[in-house]
Amino acid sequence: MQYPASRLRPAVPAILAALSLACASSAFAREPEPTRSLRDQPERTDRLIVKYRSDSSLGLNAEGQLSVQAQAAVQVAANRQGVRIQHLRRMSNGAQVFALNRALSLSEANAMAASLRMGDASIEYAEPDRLHHPSLVTNDALLAQQWSLNDAVGGIRAAAAWDKVNGSGVTVAVLDTGVRPHADLAARLLPGYDFVTALSFAGDGNGRDADASDPGDFTTANQCASGSKASSSSWHGTHVAGIAAASAGNGIGVAGVAFGAKVLPLRVLGRCGGYSSDIADAIVWAVGGAVSGLPLNPNPAKVLNLSLGGAGACGITTQNAINTARAKGAVLVVAAGNEKVDAANVSPANCTGVIVVAATGKTGARASYSNFGSKVTLAAPGGDTGAAILSTWNAGSTTPGADSYASMMGTSMATPVVSGVVALMLAANPALTPDQIAALLKSSARAFPAACSGCGAGIVNAQAAVTQALATTGAASPAPAPTPAPAPAPTPAPTPAPAPTPGTLNLSDKEPNESIATAQAVASLPALISGSMASNSDNDYFKLTLPAGQTLLATLNAANAGSGFGVGVYTASGQQVLLSTGVVGASQQIRISNPGSTAVVLVLRVLRSAGTTGAYSLKLAL
């Protein structure tokens, strides 16, 4: 399960939510709420994620449903743990989500997943569907200004960046508790989606739908776990969205870091948190990927803000979703967490390919609650005792009330600061890749003015980041001065003809090439491969070498408009790098970089994801 990094639980088990309110004409303070803490509760889940091999006839039948053998194997594994199991749904990547009739500890759930894998050769992987939470930290001070934007010591120098860009043209997806239609946010909001499937968590009386507004995530005593305390609604997603992109120049409230950007609200967290499977589907949908049963997202995001997390290693399901988003050019910004521990112990902060944000206070030192370590990319203002982060909020203690403003602190607050800066960078230079964004954020960060060990490259610097983003486009060179006419000279000897440019290698897929072991070799690049999918279970594998420091661009096109072909990338040993499912009538384009000093061998897989079978072309170029 996942929780906001301001309630961040599995990634931030403690949710210390004491909020202050600042109203337009008068100010009042709310007494600190009871601490939301799951720190003393064991990690538990009542769901499993199981991915069956697409080329196996043992797991799924021709209609994509569980076979009799698979159902039997699942039940045997459940019996060993003394639980009943029921199939819930299919995920965007083809994995299946199962519900248990009672919650298991993570160790019990992992044992069940291992038992299931050992008992069914058709399973690619199985893992607990963990819970994640937001992570708010106690705040008892009322702030009337946004020091995080421009404070000389602890701020990010936003005003200087705004002289150049404001984020216009960029969409930031906020994967959180949903967003209220606050007057300071309404002009920024795009139609989002509610991904919460667990009715006990939803709080709105239904499952997935097109309403991403936050109904409130208040809980009663013992609702989330035995001994858990009652808590008021956090309005976490509304606060996070306001930090990233609240409107500016409208005469009210606060200004977001990228106040010209649009916000795509994706509700993935409800009461007690949110499941990894829901969050993974939201990541895929946010960037324009296909999710079963949902319409395609008409407003794909280039920046994804995940102020949430859960304890434990990065799950395969989560990593695959991240890989899919990165392959589509999206930047994922993730909270480090609020447990004062190494971020390597928190997911998705410990996943590959994400920008991980620690929190600093007004002095520029590491916030007292912030996680740290080698996984952290850089830090941003998240607030600390006496100076929290002011943003949009709601006055309702349970269900929605009036628009308001509140000061909170946590890595949940630091994360949208960086997401806003990324939006500014993309507004300055839309061609930047996720890896370029990460490199520029680190190289432009300013030195910490106070102690901040394990906080990454420095404090995010909006001014310098935008300046460097603009510089990568290249300045126009002045026209050269006219060259004086040369004196007559003897006719030169003919210039030798240049060596011919290497041509494109044309290949046709050649069977057998239906596994990594039998992958067809691609001897040189660029290459154009012509192939066809003969059946729904057909796969074509191609092996190539990616030189050091190079980026491979793979473009997959279906000859038939009714086909939807996907593409996967694997190491030579079979480890999956990414898997991008196909959409009927749409082409696929992925980029894979090799930043190392030696060449690597990759295997590309073409598969039928949706629609009809038929011919395809796969273009590979550096």
What amino acid positions are annotated as catalytic residues? 176, 236, 412
Cβ contact 432:374 at 8 Å: no
**Tokens at 534, concatenated:** 């003969």
204: closest CA among 177, 241, 174, 175? Answer: 177
Cβ neighbours for 163, distance < 8 A, ≥ 6 positions apart: none
**Tokens at 101, concatenated:** 């009739």
Indicate the burial class of 536 (C-beta count within 10 angstroms; 0-12, 13-18, 19 or more): middle
Cβ contact 429:165 at 8 Å: no
Rg value, the chain, Cα: 26
Cβ neighbours for 481, distance < 8 A, ≥ 6 positions apart: none
Alpha-carbon torsion, ordered 460, 464, 466, 468, to 10 deg: -120
196: closest CA among 307, 101, 274? Answer: 274
Report CA torsion sign: 200, 204, 210, 214: negative
Alpha-carbon torsion, ordered 465, 334, 221, 218, to 10 deg: 50
Distance CA 556, CA 562 (A): 14
Indicate the burial class of 141 (C-beta count within 10 angstroms; 0-12, 13-18, 19 or more): middle
Would you give the DSSP letter of residue 245? H
**Tokens at 274, concatenated:** 């949110």
- DSSP, collapsed to helix, strand or coil, labels residue 479 as coil
Angle of the 434-444 helix axis to the 462-471 helix axis, nearest 10 = 130
Angle at 220 between CA 214 and CA 223, to 5 degrees: 95
Indicate the burial class of 484 (C-beta count within 10 angstroms; 0-12, 13-18, 19 or more): exposed
